[in-house]
Structure formats: structure tokens, C-alpha cells
Amino acid sequence: MPILKVRKYPDPVLKKKALPVKTVGERERGLIEDMIETMKLSEGVGLAATQVGVSKRIIVFNPSCDEWRADALINPVIVKKRGSEKKEEGCLSLPGINGLVNRSTYIRVEGLDIKGKPVCFEAMGLLARICQHEIDHLDGILFIDRLSPVKRFMAKRKLKKELK
Ligand code: ZN
């Protein structure tokens, strides 16, 4: 399985809004397998297709740190959310940067599974946070966009140094 190149800030693809997947076929399934492999090797807990340069609404995630239980969701939509909590986040596209981001503590997500079947699940804690972070990617939003202007400015300055 080929390992995909994770796009780093300020790659313009990260700012693009991804398009919905019309049919889930071999190409999409292959992409998902490669994304999961890439996430695993990068030691990430989530990855969006936009991060590997593909403008399609697909995310993969692995909220369990101890065991490997990765899953994928196609055309994910948050249909319900509740609560809010500020916690530290990082991103494979923003190396060396962390920041406190406010997210809902509970979400209900709908989408398609790897076979193209409609699925719906509820998520709390880390999984809820990962899903919100990855769905943001599909809309061209990075976690630094959710920081205060001062924190964002500092994060971007640090990024420039990291990426030199
Ligand atoms: Zn990210």
C-alpha cells in the first residue's frame, strides 16, 4: 500500500472545500486504505483526504491509542452537537504546533461507510474532537483558524520557522 504525502501548511489544497463523494467504489476504498496506512505511520489519530491532496469528503480516524482500530467515514455530517470543551490539538499538516481549541463534547455524525452504506454514530470525548477537527479539514478550516487572533499569529510565526 503506498504511503501518501501529507500536505503541510501553507499548501493551498488545505484551504479548499472538499467535494462530496458520489459513489463509493474501488478508487475510494483504495484511497481509504492508503489514508489509514499513512495515519498509522505518521502516528496520527485522524486524517482527512484534503490533507493528502484529494479534495473529497473522506475522513479516517483512530481514537484508541493502545490498540489499532481505525475507521473511515465518507461524506460526514454532524447532525447534532452538545456541550463545549477546550483541549489541546495538533495536526499532521501543522508540524510542531499545538493549541487549545473549543469543540463540542458530544456529536452525532451521519455519513457512508467504506461499502457506501449509510451509517450514523454518536461520539464523545476524543472521537468527537477528532471528527470535528477532520470535518473542519474538509471545509478548508485548520485548527489554528479557531484560535484567537494573537494565538493564531504566534502559531503561524512558529510554523514558518518549523517549515524552513
Ligand atoms: Zn488536522
- Measured in Å, residue 26 CA sits from the centre of ligand 1 at 25
In the chain, the DSSP E strands lie at: 46-48, 58-61, 71-82, 85-89, 99-103, 106-112, 118-124
Nine cell digits for residue 139: 471545509
Q: What is the tally of helices (H) and strands (E) in the chain?
A: 3, 7
- Measured in Å, residue 98 CA sits from the centre of ligand 1 at 11
Catalytic positions are 134
Predicted confidence (pLDDT) per residue in 71-111, tens digit: 999 999 999 999 999 999 999 999 999 999 999 999 999 99
In the prediction, which pLDDT does 66 show? 60
End-to-end CA distance of the chain: 30
Predicted confidence (pLDDT) per residue in 29-78, tens digit: 999 999 999 999 998 999 999 999 999 999 999 987 666 678 999 999 99
Q: What are phi and psi of 88, to 5 degrees?
A: -75, 140
- Measured in Å, residue 142 CA sits from the centre of ligand 1 at 7
Contacts of residue 148, Cβ cutoff 8 Å, sequence gap at least 6? none
Predicted confidence (pLDDT) per residue in 139-160, tens digit: 999 999 999 999 999 999 999 8
In the prediction, which pLDDT does 70 show? 86
**What are the residues facing 122 on neighbouring strands?**
108
In the prediction, which pLDDT does 64 show? 77
Among candidate residues 145, 139, 144, the one with its CA nearest the CA of residue 78:
139
Average pLDDT for 17-26? 97
pLDDT classification of 162: cutoffs 50, 70, 90: confident
All structural domains of the chain, each given as residue ranges with its CATH number in brackets, are: 12-163 (3.90.45.10)
- Measured in Å, residue 96 CA sits from the centre of ligand 1 at 12
The conformation of residue 51, written as its DSSP 8-state character, comes to: G
Query: Is pLDDT at 136 greater than 90 in this prediction?
Result: yes
Average pLDDT for 114-129? 95
- Measured in Å, residue 24 CA sits from the centre of ligand 1 at 23
In the prediction, which pLDDT does 2 show? 83
Decide which of 22 and 161 is more confident. 22
Nine cell digits for residue 104: 463540542
Q: Are 51 and 6 in contact (CB under 8 A)?
A: yes
